[in-house]
Each structure stands twice: as C-alpha cells, then as structure tokens.
Amino acid sequence: MRAVALTMKHELIGLAGVVERNVYLTRRYFYWDLAFFLWTVANTLTVVFIAEGFEATGGEIDVDRATTTLLIGAVVWAYLGIIFEFLTETVAWERWEGTIEYTFMAPLSRAMHLGGSGVFAVLYGLVRAILLFVVVALFFGLTMPDANFAAALAILVVASISFFGIGMMTSVLPLISPEKGAQLGFIAQGMLLVVSGVYYPVSVLPQWMEWLSTISPATYALRGIRASVLDGAGVAWADLWPLLVIGAVSIPLGLWVFNRGEVYAKRHGKLKRSG
C-alpha cells in the first residue's frame, strides 16, 4: 500500500515537472508567444470580418450574431491548435533538443508525462482563448447581454478531455516521422473542425460528414458554447454526455496509440535524433 502511494506521489511530481518545464519555456519564449498571439488575432479577424463583408455586399444578416458565431468558431479553432501543438511538442521539441532519450528512460508513466503537457496546454489555451475572445469582441464592439460565459467555459473545459485524448494520438507522429510528423497534427485539427461546424451549422454538411460530426467532440463544444454565449443557455446535458463519453474513450485510446508508437520507436531505434 505504501509502495503504491509512493509511486503515485512520484507520478504526480513528474506530472508537475512537465508543467513546470512548460512554464520555464513559456517564460523564455514569451515574446515569440506574443508574436504568435498577434498572428492568431489577425487570423481571427480575417474570419470574423466575413459577417460584415456579407452585409456590405447586400446580404441580409444579423451582423452581431453572425460575428459572434464566427468568433466562437475561430476561438475554438485556435484553442484546439494550442492543445495539439503542446501535445505534439511533447515529443517534437524534445527530439529537436535531443533530450527525448533522457525523458523516455525516466521512471515516469507515459500517462503522467503526456498528462503534464495536457494540463499545461489546457491552462495556457484557456487563458489565450479568453484573451483572444475579449480582444476581438472589443475590436468589433460586440455586446452579448445574454451570454452565460461560465457555462461556455465549463463546456470548453469538459471538451478539453476529448481534445487531450485525440491530441495524444497526434503527438506520437513525430516519433514515427521526425521530419513531418508534427505537421500531421494540423491535419487532425482541420479534419476535426471541418466536420464539426466550425463556422457553419453541421446541417449544411453532406450526409456522411454530418454523421462524422456526431463523433467529433468539437461539434458539441461549438454547439454548447454558441448556445451559452448567444442565447444565455446553461450547460445542456445533450452536449455534456457526448463530450464525457468521447472523453472516456479517447483518453485510453490516445494512450494506447502513443504506447504503440513508443514500442515501434524503441524497436526501430527512432528515439535517437538522427534515427
């Protein structure tokens, strides 16, 4: 019993160590992160301006509502990007620095190792998503008198469990392909969001894509957040239970996929930087 408690203590210290390392790195690369944030703001503006552009070219539209709808899509896109980026960097960055062998030979379970990256990614991503939302909302002078921001935040946090599980699957890619694996994470991000109604209702999708949207956690996250921000809705059970189910499946699946990738890398000598 004592040995189990001691092992658990070591595991949690290891998880905290990954968070601590990411804090150090974020501090060291603060100005780069700031520049990347400005890029994200610019990118978000190009999407959100579409609502005003539509009206300016003669379309009839509730501009504030359409702008907010697009903004939520862009913020979730950026948030998902951060989660996937941090998880993919768990391997990619360490490979680049050459520290990966030291990390992989340490007595820490992969669940806690990746969990540390996931915890930091969620915290960092949430702060960044809130900042992005506020900056762009202020830019457009959006008023959201009915918004239930607490519910929106709660949905995003619950959805993060699934995002983390899927992110674990993509984070193994740099182990298999050191050169191109990290970029493949962007493909997963794009595929996930295109079927989830990132800037449009899923009802406009072809039937087969609409079916895929039912197994994407982003579908429920976007739908729930929009209902909370636009209509003041609380956390709907109809959005919550699919997120919990997908989360419960995706985390062990993500871990299994990563472990398979690690075994492959150890079998074929892919942990070595030049391998």
Partner 1 sequence: MTEIQFEATTAVPAVPQAAVAVDRLRKDFRRRDPKGGRFARRRVPALDGVTFTIARGECVAILGQNGSGKSTLVRLLSTLLLGDGGEARVFGHDVFAEQKAVQRLVNRVSVDASFFKKMSSAENLHYAARFYGMTPSETREAIPRILTKVGFPAERRGEPMENLSRGMQQKVALARALLTSPVLLLLDEPTTGLDPRSKLEVQSFIREVRATHDATILLCTHDLVEAEALAERIGILDRGRLLALEPAGDLKERYGAETLEEAFFAATGRTFEDEADEDDEDDREVYA
Residues that bind partner 1 (CB under 8 A): 3, 6-7, 9-10, 13-14, 16-18, 20-21, 24-25, 28-29, 97-99, 101-109, 263, 266-269, 271-274
Nearer to partner 1, 111 or 161 (CB): 111
| Neighbour count for residue 102 (Cβ, 10 Å) | 10
Nearer to partner 1, 16 or 38 (CB): 16
Shortest approach of partner 1 to residue 215 CB, angstroms?
A: 34
Q: Which distant-in-sequence residues (6+ apart) come within 8 Å of 161 by Cβ?
A: 243, 244, 247, 250, 251
Nearer to partner 1, 20 or 62 (CB): 20
* CB contact at 8 A, 111 and 14: no
Q: Which of 171, 190, 179 lies closest to 259 in space, CA to CA?
A: 171
Shortest approach of partner 1 to residue 77 CB, angstroms?
A: 28
Spatial distance between the Cα atoms of 118 and 135, rounded to a whole number of angstroms: 25
Q: Helix and strand tally (H, E) in the chain?
A: 11, 0
Shortest approach of partner 1 to residue 255 CB, angstroms?
A: 16
Two tokens at 197? 């109604």
Shortest approach of partner 1 to residue 253 CB, angstroms?
A: 22
Rounded-to-5 percentages of helix, strand, coil across the chain = 80, 0, 20
Nearer to partner 1, 107 or 206 (CB): 107
Nearer to partner 1, 21 or 65 (CB): 21
Shortest approach of partner 1 to residue 13 CB, angstroms?
A: 5
